[in-house]
Amino acid sequence: MVNHMPLDGGDLSLTRIYATPDGETHMQQVTIVAGAAIPSAAVIASSYKPSTVDWHTAPRKQFIAHLAGVVETSVSDGTQRRFGPGDLVYVEDTVGKGHLTKMIEPVTNLFIRVPDDFDVLAWAKGG
């Protein structure tokens, strides 16, 4: 699934990866209000060779903007999804069972770190 920024004024979206109180990790598609500014604490560019990162939790709340390559992510509820150029993912599963990440081909992305109290659902609605 590719969530490119629409040129026609259509919907923007991201995939949210989060944990529920029972520790299960899930994915949720979230529609974003166009023009919502991200309160960034830091932006880090990274690149990875094809590899697999075993089950892990997110080190912090952050957006991942995929610039190049394909990543396959699995969460503990069994959902699996591929992300590629133009996809935006928000990880906030800092506790729980986490997620598995497999770089299918060389990957380049931006990690956009946000404050610990950031609420992605309120932000997505323009709040």
Flag whether 7 is in a domain.
no
The continuous run of DSSP H or E covering 88 comes out as: strand 88-91
Which tens digits make up the pLDDT trace of 76-121? 999 999 999 999 999 999 999 999 999 999 999 999 999 999 999 9
Which tens digits make up the pLDDT trace of 3-55? 444 445 567 899 999 999 999 999 999 999 888 889 998 999 999 999 999 99
Structure tokens at 75: 């969460």
Judge whether residue 72 has pLDDT over 70. yes
Report pLDDT for 97.
97
**CATH code, 106:** 2.60.120.10
Report pLDDT for 17.
98
Residue with tokens 């770089």: 103
Structure tokens at 43: 């932006």
What are the angstrom distances between the C-alpha of 92 and each of 12, 68, 111?
Answer: 19, 22, 13
Flag whether 33 is in a domain.
yes
Q: Which domain holds residue 41?
A: 12-124
Flag whether 117 is in a domain.
yes
Q: Among positive and negative, which fits the CA dihedral 93, 80, 111, 13?
A: negative
